[in-house]
Structure 1
């Protein structure tokens, strides 16, 4: 156990060492006067960050962006997992619409923004729909593959205990397919963050993407970098939360994998 703790601490230190070195190098270049219009001193960017985002701007721009990300991601996961399970149970239907699923997965989400603006408008509904349309396919197809790959012995075990449909789904099917489902959820989270920023930069009256777009138009580089910085913090925070979720949900899988290779 102490060995695992030391190993985890060493891994965490290595993960943070490279970003820390880059941040220090940027800060040092600013202190030495080695800056340009496009790359202001890090101290100036940080001052602008504190001034901008620790004010009412947080509720005006950060909260709409964060709400759209979480809403779109929640809908993508729930609908994607449900549809994936249903299609795995209906192989004929799955074969029938498989080309359509691959087509929609390959379609760039940003390409449908003009259509959504005309049909839905430029509010929160448009951003959430864009996220769901783009991210749901990754979750759906990963769920479909995960359920189809469940070993027959696992299914037979559930039948031997005479588990009902909902009980077998919750305690046999979804846990057995969870490694691939979680992998799809991880990719979908990154897609949600990227697409929200794109949609807000294209057309929106609020949000971090809109703030970045306005700063770019005004050639306000410290504001631009502060917007990028707050978005990086949000992405980092959400990914760390997801890693904690993944660590707990897949604890049984890591234990099984460890025993298999022991």
Structure 2
């Protein structure tokens, strides 16, 4: 195959992927636009109306005063949950007795909806950034921790035996053997936790905050500013899409070896 033909095939493949990704959203937006234009309902503005109000709503003072603080709290809470979840999950997964002792507690806290605990967390941390970061971390930690436990439990005995043979212990064993072997499960939990983190970010800001996207959305609703309220909802959706895309990019780079193995098995 010539270079030109190979290049043309790659370009067609990229275009087909772009079309497959954008086809459904474009169709849904078109249906929304037509339906909203026909209904002319105050509670249901059209996408074009929302898009027109978007820059004035978020690209002025709210970008630095609300959007960036929300993203900062989301990042801090999520990273805290990753550290606690991975370290705790690796420890619990490595010892059978500890796992049997703590798994019922993990399942109990995982079953409790995190928003219910926001008022309780407020009692201990007060109102402010610490409360919001704690709420986000608490919501995110459970899927990461439980998936890490399962990932550590699923490590093949040959890997453990090989590490023992070469006397790989301590931190070196943790970072060279345990974490890489459990990383597919860890990333699966991290992806689940990402959407939970965005939800908890919004809820914590709606409960008690002086800034943030969630606070603005609820204030727009209370003031009956419905189009700005919709821009906030769309902004949260875009943040979720971009965060997931960034997560997948990191996942592909870190788990390149694992995805290569999966491709070979197929």
* Aligned-partner Cα distance in 1 for 2:72–2:48: 30
Question: Where does residue 10 of structure 1 map in the other structure?
Answer: 16
Which of 42, 54, 59 is matched with 1:54 structurally?
59
Partner of 1:21: 27
Q: For residue 172 of structure 1, give the secondary structure of its aligned residue in structure 2.
A: helix
Q: CA RMSD in A?
A: 1.9
For residue 127 of structure 1, report the CA deviation from its aligned partner: 0.8
The within-5 A match list for 1:185-224 is 185-224=190-229
Q: 1:10 Cα deviation (Å)?
A: 2.6
- The answer to whether the aligner puts 1:100 opposite 2:100 as a matched pair is no
Q: How many angstroms does 1:5 deviate by?
A: 7.2
CA distance 1:6–1:172, change in 2 (3 Å):
farther
Pairing partner for 1:164 from 157, 166, 169: 169
User: 1:114 and 1:160 mapped to 2: Cα distance?
Assistant: 51
What is the deviation of 1:141?
A: 0.8
Q: Please, what TM-score do these two structures have when normalized by structure 1?
A: 0.92
Is 1:125 equivalent to 2:133 in the alignment?
Answer: no
Range with greater deviation from structure 2 (212-221 or 7-16): 7-16
Match for residue 255 of structure 1 among 251, 254, 260: 260
* Closer/same/farther in 2, CA of residues 167 and 127 from structure 1, 3 Å limit: same
Q: Distance in 1 between matches of 2:24 and 2:198?
A: 23
Q: Deviations over 1:132-152 (max 9, x none)?
A: 122111111100110111111
SS in 1 for 2:229: helix
- What does the per-residue CA deviation read over 1:50-99, in whole Å, with 9 as the maximum and x for residues that have no partner? 11111111111101211111000000001100001111222212211211
Q: CA deviation at 1:181?
A: 0.6
Distance of 2:255 and 2:142 partners within structure 1: 22
User: 1: CA distance between counterparts of 2:15 and 2:83?
Assistant: 35
Q: How far does the alpha carbon of each residue in 1:101-158 deviate from its partner, in whole angstroms, 9 at most, with x for none?
A: 1101111111111122232222111111111122111111100110111111122222
- The normalised TM-score by structure 2 is 0.91
